[in-house]
């Protein structure tokens, strides 16, 4: 078994370094995707894109996240803590529903459907892959590790900034980086705020499931 870090400061430094590595490799994954798109391969299809990004996230996000959790001395059972399901549903579901109201209410007032009416691979990514994978990396591994060295508020702020950073390569290659960084609603600021809420849901429920529930409801709206 790999050595488990006993020093919380060293664990935090390792977590920062691994995140920078993830960001670099994630950028490479975007470069590869753009190249494949220009070659007009099967990756251009909705199904192909779903498969590509799911595999990329498994390799670039999930494997390093699992390693970071192991280095912290925590077990996956502790991270998910499914025995706290009720608390997770209360805090994650409650906070997630409050966030989702910002999408539900305008849709209702304008006569648009409150819930998705068409289920496809893109929606599967938004409602399943993103909440599970992003929360496992950002709240399960990174926030969990940083909390062993920093106070929760500091850890939540830093990990939320890192969460925004994780979106930057995608914004850049899709050509809307400046728009997403500067617009007051729906861009970097909104992602930072909801990330803080996801982290708080994890803290209050003492389970990653709280963050997953909140993230799911946010994306549902």
What's the whole-model pTM score? 0.94
Give the chain's mean pLDDT.
Answer: 93
Q: Express each pLDDT in 8-64 by its tens digit.
A: 999 999 999 999 999 999 999 999 999 998 888 788 888 999 999 999 999 999 999
* 52, 83, 125, 174 from 41: Cα distances, Å: 12, 45, 20, 18
62-76, 103-117, 163-177: segment of lowest average pLDDT: 103-117
Q: Are 43 and 49 in contact (CB under 8 A)?
A: yes
For helices 46-57 and 8-38, angle between their N-to-C axes, nearest 10 degrees: 160
Residue 112 buriedness (CB in 10 A; 0-12 / 13-18 / 19+): exposed
Q: Give the domain ranges of the chain.
A: 8-220
pLDDT at position 6 over 90:
no
> Residue range 107-134: average pLDDT?
88
Residue ranges with strand state E in 69-149: none
What is the distance between the alpha carbons of residues 15 and 21, in angstroms, rounded to a whole number? 10
pLDDT-based confidence at residue 218 (cuts at 50, 70, 90): very high
* pLDDT tens sequence across 142-165: 999 999 999 999 999 999 999 999
pLDDT band at residue 4 under the 50/70/90 scheme: low
Query: For residue range 179-217, what is the model confidence (pLDDT) as tens digits?
Result: 999 998 889 999 999 999 999 999 999 999 999 999 999
Whether 144 and 12 have beta carbons less than 8 Å apart is answered as no
Cβ contact 197:128 at 8 Å: no
pLDDT value at 5 more than 70: no
What was the pLDDT predicted at 84?
96
Position 86 scores a pLDDT of: 96
Give 101's DSSP letter: H
d(CA 157, CA 150): 11
């Amino acid at each position: 078994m790999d050595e488990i870090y006993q020093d919380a400061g060293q664990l935090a430094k390792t977590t920062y370094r691994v995140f920078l590595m993830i960001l670099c490799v994630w950028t490479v994954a975007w470069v590869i995707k753009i190249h494949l798109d220009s070659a007009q391969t099967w990756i251009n299809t909705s199904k192909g894109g779903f498969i590509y990004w799911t595999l990329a996230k498994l390799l670039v996000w999930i494997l390093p996240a699992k390693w970071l959790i192991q280095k912290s001395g925590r077990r996956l059972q502790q991270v998910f803590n499914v025995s706290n399901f009720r608390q997770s549903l209360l805090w994650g579901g409650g906070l997630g529903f409050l966030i989702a109201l910002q999408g539900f209410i305008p849709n209702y007032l304008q006569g648009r459907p409150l819930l998705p009416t068409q289920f496809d691979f893109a929606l599967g990514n938004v409602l399943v892959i993103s909440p599970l994978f992003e929360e496992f990396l950002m709240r399960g591994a990174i926030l969990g590790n940083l909390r062993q060295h920093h106070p929760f508020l500091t850890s939540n702020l830093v990990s939320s900034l890192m969460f925004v950073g994780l979106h930057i390569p995608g914004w850049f290659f899709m050509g809307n980086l400046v728009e997403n960084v500067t617009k007051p609603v729906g861009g970097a600021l909104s992602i930072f705020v909801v990330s803080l809420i996801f982290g708080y849901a994890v803290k209050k429920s003492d389970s990653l499931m709280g963050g997953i529930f909140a993230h799911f409801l946010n994306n549902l709206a």
